[in-house]
Amino acid sequence: MRKLSEIVSHQAPLTVPSNATVCEACRRMRDCNTGSILVIDDNGKLVGIFTGRDAVQRVLAIGKSPSRTRIGAVMTPDPVTAMPGQSAVEALHLMWNGGFSHVPVVDGDKILGLVSQTDIVGDEEERHGYEREMWEHLR
């Protein structure tokens, strides 16, 4: 099984400061063809995550202005993170149990990258399904 460090080894984490606007964050996400962006403080520490789903549910659907709304006001604060030594299957478990599809990979305060459900395929995905079924039967 692959470790998360292998999956994110060639990534340059996409980040935005918490005072950026939703519009700025969405443009960066569009330009990088990604569904989420990591939100950082002035010291580069991870403070949140913002997804396309957040843009729809927390901004557009309730009539907020994307050009005036700060990302820090609509992000998911303190996201669940994974460590580089964890396996891809462990990341899938985190995502499944938490009801989200992206997990930042960090080493201490250093952001290494972001893993999404679409990064994990084949044997890893099958193993996660098998383990999830086993746990469901044990409940």
Structural domains in the chain plus CATH codes: 4-138 (3.10.580.10)
Model pTM score: 0.85
pLDDT tens digits for range 11-46: 899 999 999 999 999 999 999 999 999 999 999 999
Q: Which two tokens stand for residue 114?
A: 């972001």
Query: What does the alpha-carbon distance between residue 125 and residue 107 come to, in Å, rounded to a whole number?
Result: 24
pLDDT tens digits for range 56-103: 999 999 999 999 999 999 999 999 999 999 998 899 889 988 999 999
